[in-house]
């Protein structure tokens, strides 16, 4: 293999990509606006939840409970009348509605066990699931603090001290932004290399390559390094500018180590893109193949759901996928500050998987290149 040919062919791929405005827009969008919206628009924690309160007691305790709900977890409570509760819930104005009954404070001080009704709009699943427990803790805490002023309240609960490591505020922006970058690395690596190969066929330039003194290995290697370099630079930009700069998510580990893992992952996924490009005869076919390959890779890699919660045979199968090892590397380095002594098995696995995919795609590419011409 002549490295000068690989270099010049790779530069040709970069120039061809620069003349494709649709692909350029896709790259910019995938590593900028898409990352920001994925991190900020899909809040899994309680954030600005609308709540209404029916205060039928008009007591200091009821006012204390109403004042315990404030931003950013909740919007300022709407004080409503009892007859408004169902109507507001029906039209979707409130996620939670708390009904404090008459004589609530008096019954509580008398030693009775009054009941507070909490209505929840369960169609808003994330807020409903999280907010139910949060509201219960808020109400219980305010009631206990109020009662301690009037009589001793035995504290029989266990004092559980929680330490949230790697994400002290339990903010999903720290997780979703990085994971979306990782998913887009795989997406763009496959699309760019596969589209580059199909573009050669559609534009008729594949015939020019065949009459030149270049080998299939040189052609494929040029596409792999050129498209991989584009995605690697875009990934570094997304982590540095979008994740760290705009989202203000700290990166705990070494960026060069993360980029090394990204480069090995790109070696595997760009080879996969070449293989899919030889199978598909057109871009629509390539898009359908992408759906069959990309969705399982991303959903079962552990980027959104822990691998330990999946069936064991799925875990075993996904150990042969590059995404699984790349997700482990990214989470270990960027979130937990791991060094090479921790992630070297995943680096070796990515190198082995990438080599196998490259050789497999090269064999397919050698057979298909004459047919494509």
Kindly state which CATH superfamily the domain 51-147 is placed in. Answer: abc type-2 transporter like domain (3.40.1710.10)
Q: Is pLDDT at 218 greater than 70 in this prediction? A: yes
Query: Quick one: which H or E segment has residue 128?
Result: helix 125-147
Strand order from edge to edge, sheet including 51-55 = 78-80, 51-55, 96-100, 117-120
Q: What is the DSSP string of 316-351?
A: HHHTTSHHHHHHHHHIIIIIT---HHHHHHHHHHHH
Q: Which of 165-174, 177-186, 315-324 is least confident?
A: 165-174
Question: How many Cα atoms are found within 13 Å in the side-chain-facing hemisphere of 160?
Answer: 4
Could you give the CA distance from residue 291 to residue 2 in angstroms, rounded to a whole number? 36
Greatest mean pLDDT among 5-19, 280-294, 341-355: 341-355
Look at residue 372 and tell me whether its pLDDT is greater than 70: no
- Let me know: does 357 contact 193? Beta carbons within 8 Å: no
If one counts every other C-beta atom within 10 angstroms of the C-beta of residue 276, the result is 25
* pLDDT at 133 > cutoff 60: yes
The answer to which of 45-49, 151-155, 219-223 has the lowest mean pLDDT is: 151-155
Long-range contacts of 85-91 (CB under 8 A, 24+ apart): 85/52, 85/54, 85/119, 88/52, 89/119, 89/121
- Predicted pLDDT of residue 146: 85
Per-domain boundaries in the chain: 3-42+172-372, 51-147
**Main-chain phi, psi angles of 97, to 5 degrees:** -135, 120
What does the pLDDT average to over 349-371?
Answer: 87
pLDDT value of residue 281: 81
Contact predicate 258/333, CB 8 Å: yes
How many degrees, rounded to 5, is the angle at CA 256 between CA 197 and CA 341? 110
Who wins on pLDDT, 98 or 72?
98
Question: Which tens digits make up the pLDDT trace of 235-256?
Answer: 999 999 999 999 888 888 899 9
Please give the pLDDT value at position 159.
65
Indicate whether this model's pTM tops 0.85. Answer: no
Please, which pLDDT band fits residue 304 given cuts at 50, 70 and 90? confident
171: pLDDT strictly greater than 80: no
The average pLDDT across 319-334 equals 91
Burial class (CB in 10 A: 0-12, 13-18, 19+), 229: middle
Q: If we measure between CA atoms, which residue out of 257, 233, 234 comes closest to residue 347?
A: 257
- Check whether 158 has a pLDDT greater than 80: no
Q: Taking residues 170-186, what's their average pLDDT? A: 84
Helix axes 173-203, 322-330, angle to 10 degrees: 140
């Amino acid at each position: 293999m002549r490295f000068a040919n690989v270099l010049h062919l790779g530069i040709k791929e970069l120039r061809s990509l620069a003349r494709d405005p649709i692909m350029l827009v896709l790259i910019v969008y995938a590593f900028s606006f898409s990352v920001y919206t994925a991190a900020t628009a899909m809040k899994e924690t309680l954030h600005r939840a609308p709540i209404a309160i029916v205060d039928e007691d008009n007591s200091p305790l009821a006012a204390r409970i109403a004042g315990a709900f404030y931003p950013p977890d909740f919007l300022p409570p709407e004080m409503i009348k009892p007859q408004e509760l169902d109507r507001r819930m029906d039209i979707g104005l409130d996620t939670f509605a708390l009904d404090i009954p008459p004589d609530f404070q008096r019954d509580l001080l008398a030693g009775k066990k009054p009941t507070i009704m909490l209505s929840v709009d369960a169609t808003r699943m994330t807020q409903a699931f999280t907010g139910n427990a949060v509201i219960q803790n808020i109400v219980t805490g305010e009631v206990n603090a109020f009662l301690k002023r009037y009589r001793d309240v035995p504290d029989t609960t266990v004092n559980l001290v929680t330490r949230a490591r790697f994400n002290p505020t339990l903010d999903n922006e720290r997780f979703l932004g990085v994971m979306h970058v990782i998913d887009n690395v795989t997406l763009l690596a496959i699309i760019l290399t596969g589209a580059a190969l199909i573009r050669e066929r559609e534009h008729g330039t594949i015939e020019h390559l065949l009459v030149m003194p270049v080998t299939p290995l040189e052609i494929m290697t040029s596409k792999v390094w050129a498209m991989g370099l584009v995605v690697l630079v875009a990934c570094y930009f997304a982590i540095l500018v979008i994740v760290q700069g705009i989202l203000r998510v700290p990166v705990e580990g070494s960026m060069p180590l993360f980029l090394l893992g990204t480069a090995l992952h790109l070696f595997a996924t760009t080879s996969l893109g070449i293989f899919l490009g030889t199978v598909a005869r057109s871009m629509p076919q390539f898009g359908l193949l992408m759906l069959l390959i990309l969705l399982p890779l991303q959903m079962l890699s552990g980027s959104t759901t822990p691998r330990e919660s999946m069936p064991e045979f799925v875990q075993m199968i996904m150990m042969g996928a590059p995404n699984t090892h790349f997700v482990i590397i990214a989470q270990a380095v960027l979130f937990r500050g791991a060094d090479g002594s921790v992630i070297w098995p995943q680096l070796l696995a990515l190198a082995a998987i990438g080599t196998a995919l490259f050789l497999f795609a090269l064999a397919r590419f050698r057979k298909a290149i004459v047919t494509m011409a």
